Chains A and B, each alone.
Chain A
Amino acid sequence: MIVRITPDAFDPAAEFAAFEAAQGTGAGAVVTFLGRVRAPGDADRYTLTLEHYPGMAEREIGAILEEARSRWKLLDALVIHRHGRLAPGEPIVLVATAAAHRGEAFAAASFIMDFLKTRAPFWKKEAAGDSARWVEARASDDEAARRWTT
């Protein structure tokens, strides 16, 4: 289980290759999710800045991975999350899971993303031209996380 929070751009293909190569022969399924900066409208003037709580961010994501491991037979998991200033199209977050079968790998990756969005201490600020605003939390994200609690 690896958690990496970094201000630096990462190469999704290289990260996937390294994660996949590290898995043993018992891992029949590897699932990856990549979140990218999605720009509304005037993309070339748009930037996203991610602020995070150093220490707590690593700790919360680590706890989410442990929770995922206890629910499914996860063999391995990786989360890479950017912070700082990002341009449209740049990767923000990579989640990778490895399990014996695809059902567990898909479910765990989905669970990790849903909880990442409601528990990991990151805050987004959008800027376009001269105006900037903090993005507000969405009720739909809380609902997505809640579906795992039944």
Chain B
Amino acid sequence: MVTVLYFAWLRERIGRGEEEIPLPQPATVEGLLDTLRSRGGVYDETFADTDKLRAAVNQVHVDLRHPVADGDEVAFFPPVTGGRA
């Protein structure tokens, strides 16, 4: 299983911040996105445009080709907007 986290507008649109998902095939971030999109509805909408998505595996920024292993924490979020000025 993979722990999947959602932040900001992704979390709001999906209606939850966290869920457990079986390890996808292929076992990559992109493979996980395909699994999520195949659920249709709000998932398909949320993950349609990968330009607006960023991902982290085990709390480190990664690109979508990055591998995912059993027990990993995978997070999806928009480009960050912290700091100020």
Contact = CB atoms under 8 A, between A and B. Distances in A.
Decide whether A and B are members of one complex. yes
A37 interface: yes
Interface residues of A, number: 31
Nearest to A125: B8
16 contacts: A53-B56, A53-B75, A56-B59, A59-B60, A81-B82, A93-B83, A117-B82, A118-B80, A123-B78, A123-B80, A123-B82, A124-B82, A134-B81, A136-B79, A136-B81, A137-B80
Interface of A: 35-38, 50-53, 55-56, 59-60, 81, 92-93, 113, 116-125, 134-138
Best-buried of B7, B8, B77, B82 by chain A (most CB within 10 Å): B82
- Top 9 nearest A-B pairs (CB, nearest first) are A122-B82, A35-B84, A137-B79, A123-B8, A56-B59, A117-B83, A116-B83, A124-B81, A135-B81
